[in-house]
Amino acid sequence: MPDAPMLEVDAVSRVFDVSRPWLQRVLAREERLSLRAVDEVSFAIDRGATLSLVGESGCGKSTVARLVVGLFPPTSGSIRFEGQSLSAARAQPALRRRMNMIFQDPYASLNPRWRVRDIVAEPLRAFGLLSGRDAIGDRVGELLRQVGLAPADGEKFPHEFSGGQRQRISIARALSSEPEFLVCDEPTSALDVSVQAQILNLMKDLQQRLGLTYLFISHNLAVVRHMSDQLGVMYLGRIVESGPAEEIFSAPLHPYTRMLLAAIPDLDMVGGRTPVAGEVPSPIDPPPGCPFHPRCPLANARCRVERPGYTPTGDVLVACHAVEEGRTSP
C-alpha cells in the first residue's frame, strides 16, 4: 500500500489520574480526579510529509508525541503505524527502529557521562544493526558528518558542545537506526534564533535526502509555518482546526487559530492587533460545550452547551459552531 499514510491516529484519548494519594483522598472524602490531556485526536501523516501540532502550554501536544512513539499507551482510540496497530508494531524491533524521537532539551536528553560516539551508537547496538567496533565507528563517523559535526567529535563528552551542537548529536542519534519517521518535540525551543535556523535547515535537508516523515510539535507558529505541510491546532486536548498548513495560515477559520495568529508580534510593524482576553482554563475542569467558548468572541448559547463536531471546509476540518453556521462577527 504505497499510498497509505505512514501514521494514522484515530480518535485517541489519554486520561491521566491526578488524584491525591489514597489516604489523603479518603480522609478528605474526595473523588478521584482525572485530567483528559488528549481528547479524541485524529490525524494522518503521509510518507515524506511533515505534520505539525501547535498550541499553547497544556494543550496536549507533547502528550500526543509521547503516545505516538509509544512512551505511554492511549486510554482509548487507535494509532496505526504503516497499517499495523502501534502496540503490535512496537513489539517488533524491525518496525520499532523505524521511528525515533528528538526532544526539546539537548542538555537533558544526552547522558553526560557517555562519549558522543557511544550516545550515537546506542540505537545501533540496541537493535543489533551493526557489530564490530570498526563498523560501528565508521557508521557513527558518517552520522556525525551528516549532521554537520566532525567524526573526531565522537571522542568528546556532551558538555564540550554548545546547545545547537548538542541538538545535532540528538539528531544523529535519532537517525542512527535509519528511521523513516521522526517525532520532534519542540526541537528548537531551547535554542537561539541563529542556531534554530541551522537546525531547521538541517532537518529539512535530511528530510529531502532521506525521505523522512516528521511529526513536529511546537508552540512557535512561525517555525511551524516554515516546516509544515499539514497542520493541527490544538486547544485543551482537542484539535480545533486541521488541514494543509498553507491554507490555514492564509485563511484561518477557527476563532482560536485566528487569535493565535493575531497574537504574534508583527514584524512589519503595521500594528493594530487585538490582544485576546483571558487564559487557557484548567484541563482538570474544562468548560462544557466548546472548550474555547469562555474566550471566544463568537460564542453563543449553543457553544456553551454543545460540543462542536468537525465541519469540513475545503480541505480543512474545523470544530466550531460559528464557522458551521456561518457566523463571522459577534
Where on the chain is the footprint of another protein (CB under 8 A)? 56-57, 162-165, 192-198, 200-201, 204, 219-223, 225-226, 246, 249, 259-269, 271, 273, 275-277, 279-280
Count of CB atoms situated within 10 Å of the CB of 2: 4
Instruction: Report in angstroms how near the CB of residue 165 gets to another protein at its nearest.
Output: 8
Written as one string, the DSSP assignment of 66-88 is HHHTTSS--SEEEEEETTEEHHH
Report the relative pairing of strands 316-318 and 311-313 from DSSP bridges: antiparallel
Rg of the chain's alpha carbons, rounded to an integer? 22
* Percent composition of the chain: helix, strand, coil (DSSP 3-state, to 5): 35, 20, 40
Query: Which of 63/165 has CB closer to another protein?
Result: 165
Query: Which of 10/229 has CB closer to another protein?
Result: 229
Instruction: Report in angstroms how near the CB of residue 63 gets to another protein at its nearest.
Output: 17
Query: Which of 15/195 has CB closer to another protein?
Result: 195
Query: Which of 5/255 has CB closer to another protein?
Result: 255
Cβ-in-10-Å burial (0-12, 13-18, 19+) of 116 comes to buried
For the chain, report the end-to-end CA distance as a whole number of angstroms. 47
Q: Which grid coordinates belong to 151? A: 567524526
As a whole number of angstroms, the distance between CA 127 and CA 173 comes to 13
Question: Measured between alpha carbons, how far is residue 103 from residues 47, 66, 175 in Å?
Answer: 21, 10, 13
Instruction: Report in angstroms how near the CB of residue 149 gets to another protein at its nearest.
Output: 13
As a whole number of angstroms, the distance between CA 256 and CA 292 comes to 7
Which of 155, 303, 279, 145 has the alpha carbon at shortest distance from 209?
145
Instruction: Report in angstroms how near the CB of residue 160 gets to another protein at its nearest.
Output: 11
Query: Which of 100/218 has CB closer to another protein?
Result: 218
Instruction: Report in angstroms how near the CB of residue 297 gets to another protein at its nearest.
Output: 13
Instruction: Report in angstroms how near the CB of residue 33 gets to another protein at its nearest.
Output: 18
Query: Which of 130/197 has CB closer to another protein?
Result: 197
Longest dimension (CA), the chain: 69
Instruction: Report in angstroms how near the CB of residue 224 gets to another protein at its nearest.
Output: 9
Distance of CA 134 to the CA centre of its chain: 36
Query: Which of 136/190 has CB closer to another protein?
Result: 190
Query: Which of 272/312 has CB closer to another protein?
Result: 272
Instruction: Report in angstroms how near the CB of residue 61 gets to another protein at its nearest.
Output: 12
Q: What is the DSSP letter of 190?
A: T
Query: Are 199 and 24 contacting, i.e. CB atoms less than 8 angstroms apart?
Result: no
